[in-house]
Structure 1
Amino acid sequence: MILRHVTIDCADPYGLATFWSAAIGWPMSEEDEPGDSEALVEAPAPAPGMLFIRVPEGKTVKNRIHFDWMPTERTRDEEVERLLALGAKLHEDHRAPEGPGWVTLLDPEGNEFCVERSAAERGL
């Protein structure tokens, strides 16, 4: 089997897909438009895409699954600042004074995701 998409329930598929497309640099499907009931952020092969689907109910509890992102071109702290400027919100800051740790952010609809230190910061 191949994991084709990670599907995320939301109120505004196009709006949330636009945020994630800008956040991770993957393109949105050219078929999607504002107001559509679903929107796709296309991942580079072989990674699964991110499919956003409109649902009537809002998010009410902590996600049972979330993304952990590791920057490739910036430090963790630079990436956090960039994502905040795109519309993410700070949820929990787990950075330690000596450098390790991660930051938990919320996307525009309140879904949690984490930003870890880059490979360079980890000495990899």
Structure 2
Amino acid sequence: MSLAIVNICIDCADPHALGTFWGEVLGIPLASDDAPGDDEVGLDLPSGQALLFLRVPEGKVVKNRLHLCLAPPEVDPTRVGASRDAEVERVLALGATVVDDLRQPDGKGWVVLADPAGNEFCVIRPAEEQAG
């Protein structure tokens, strides 16, 4: 017997605001019954799991022990790393900040970002680029 991941939970001060940010990042709307002030809001992921945002009283004070790595779904055939870079710019415009930029001149590497609550995540190259 084995276990299956049902939810990935992110603690935060404002679940609705952070859920809205991540909904924009992932292109997934919050549930219609999620509202500002809720103690828990969620995004239903296409894989069947949910990304849940839970209100907690304390702020984030140290580096995450777990983080998400996100990749664009498609490759820009004109330039290695272009789709990753475009997604980094899009997510920065939504309110993320750069924690560490590990992109290399040859297009390899990734960018470590933080969401508005300070939770780190990475934007990496699409799988097709990594395999090539």
Q: Between the two proteins, what is the percent identity of the paired residues?
A: 51
How far 1:118 moved relative to its partner?
A: 1.5
Q: Match for residue 110 of structure 1?
A: 118
Distance in 2 (CA, whole Å) between partners of 1:55 and 1:101 is 33
Distance in 1 (CA, whole Å) between partners of 2:74 and 2:43 is 20
Q: Match for residue 61 of structure 2?
A: 60
Distance in 1 (CA, whole Å) between partners of 2:62 and 2:127 is 31
Distance in 2 (CA, whole Å) between partners of 1:123 and 1:45 is 22
How far 1:116 moved relative to its partner?
A: 0.3
| Gap regions ≥5 residues in structure 2 | 76-82
Runs of 4+ in 1 over 2 A off after TM superposition: 119-124
Tell me the alpha carbon deviations over residues 48-106 of structure 1, each in whole angstroms, 9 at most, x when there is no partner.
21100000000000000000011114611000000000000011000111111000000
| Gap regions ≥5 residues in structure 1 | none
**Length-normalised TM-score, structure 1:** 0.93
Counterpart secondary structure, 2:42: strand
Q: Cα RMSD (Å) of the superposition?
A: 1.4
How many residue pairs get matched? 123
How far 1:123 moved relative to its partner?
A: 5.2
